[in-house]
Structure 1
Amino acid sequence: MSSRALTIWLPSLRAGSGADVFTLRLAQSLKKAGHCPVVQWFDRRFELCPSLLKGIQPPARADLVHAGSWQGFAFKRQGLPLVVTEHHCSLHPLLRRSHSTTQALYHRFCVQRWNRLSYRMADSVVAVSNFAAQPLRPMLGERLQVIHNGVDTAHFCPGQRGTSRRFRLLFVGNPSRWKGADLLAPLAARLGGDFEVCCLSGLRSNWPKGLDATGLTFLPRVAPADMPTVYRSVDAVLALTRFETFGYVALESMACGTPVVGFDCAGTAEVCAGADSALLGPVDDLDALAGRIRELSADAELARRLSFNGRRRAEELFSIDRCVGSYLKLYEQLVER
């Protein structure tokens, strides 16, 4: 294994998504480990034609390229190993259920084509969860591996809890149907005045005017470094996504010792792994969801157990050190070929 410092080129589209979070955390941790990550951001509009990025020159003395699957093929360069991370997996059949007709056509005729080009040109493909890896295994075989995303468990950690007369719930994410934002107002109505549903918009957009916001409390945006304080200020975090290859919000909440309540869906379920770490149930079943929330609010011992188990799971399986260590092992194997 190589012990020298590696220069890793990280060309990325600034899409306002979990992939942005991944890139920043990976770069910070690689630098901390003594390596030289070079993050190069490109406008999100290049999603529509990533081929335009083929002429971008790599940084001097780059050892390796690491990019996402939408644009990875455009950054393949002679003599540089290419690692492609699949954050989204447009090939997964469950994703179609969350798409409009226009989105479905765009993914079928554009995104999936770019994904396949990236897979073909990559020296190694990484999926961020076993769920994301499922449709890729038949075509990629040994070139595919799973490396779960990670969180800094020293930063995202339990601390002083907020106090409120009402049971406070937190939704974090881009306000889309895919993320379950359309369910928040109906959920608040079912729960009634003893519960407060707080919303914090994700990286991409503010709350759309056409989406029902009755009974919701909107929190001001905070810097990413301040998110642990937000997680610790509530009693539980809502995970309402209908399709998720990896559940960053659920993981960050668990790391902070805040229970997760939501849907037993895809990557969220993989992060939370059952009733010991979170309360998850059928997708779109609001009556069952409201019942689980009331159960949690009335059972302090259940809340303590979920807090403890969630934190332990985050530390043992999803630390940023574990994630970056796996990537470094892969980088060194490819560079030494």
Structure 2
Amino acid sequence: MQKIAVLGLGKVGTLASELLHESGFTVTGFDNHTAADLPFETRRIDVSNTDALTTALTGFDAVLSCLPYFLNVGVATVAHGLGLHYFDLTEDVPTTKAILKLSETSRGLMAPQCGLAPGFVGIVGAHLIEQLDSCRSCKMRVGALPQNPTGLMGYSFNWSPEGVVNEYLNDCEVLENGEIKWVSPMEWIEKIVIGGIELEAFTTSGGLGTMCDTYKDRVPNMDYKTMRYPGHVQLMNFFFHELLMRERRQEAGEILVNAKPPVNDDIVFIHVSAEGEIDGHMRRNEFVRGLKPVEIAGKERTAIAWTTASSVVAIIEMVRDGALPGKGFLKQEDVSLDAFLKTQNGARYNG
């Protein structure tokens, strides 16, 4: 695997392309506009045109989609037809299920959900579970937030508005008492304190990836929640449900981004825990981080951009180097955390 096409050159897509280039891959970036001053070739494309996309991707070894989730099934289908390795960052459950079906007959590796959550947190959760003789619960929490919040919402939209709205409104898969269940988003609210900073966590969709199916007979309780500053979830419930913005998703995203635009000084909080027994004694294992912007290739990169881009590029490194399979469907929980953290890009998570 050498030649990689990256679709979507937003902040994450551009950074992922740069990291792939630095890691020795031959990268071509595709977007609906060309970009200047990048160390790799860029081309214009309309990704919704299947014939044009098929022609554009012919001759590549792999494709990384950094596009909005609703475009990924089309890209994955083209990659499947061409026999390419496929990677994406989606949190959308139906998209992942469609790609799982494609993987049954794929000639390459189908690897969705390779970002931060789902993605890296699943790798961490699996690692903590495996350290226990038996595990009664695993909880995964992630929050991408401004370091200096303002207003009642205490938030800035540094991530795709389509993705944020999607995870706030779609039902959430959990394991509860050994059963896979679907629960409403923006519920099960709890308090979490990281480094003296108080946060609230609540259910959102997609963050567990495939983990419920993987652990349903081993871990009776498992859930994923998003972390925000206190008071955020009440306002979001008011906005989406009392004002009925859940019926106008695109407009909701536009309103929220206009009100709370991206910031440079962000922070990504990660809090993953697993409880169970070791040698007959109860134990709680934790992985907790507060990750801030870092300089990469001479530029300051936001925390959400570098954590997401580094995660997927680390996975691609591992596939290239033979540390992961080159065919079928990749579950994030099958990725070794130790091996991930030893890659050029995964090492950034060491802090």
- TM bucket (normalised to shorter chain) is 0.3 to 0.5
How does the TM-score come out when normalised to structure 1? 0.39
More strand by share: 2
More helix by share: 1
Structure with larger RCO (C-alpha < 8 A, sep 6+): 2
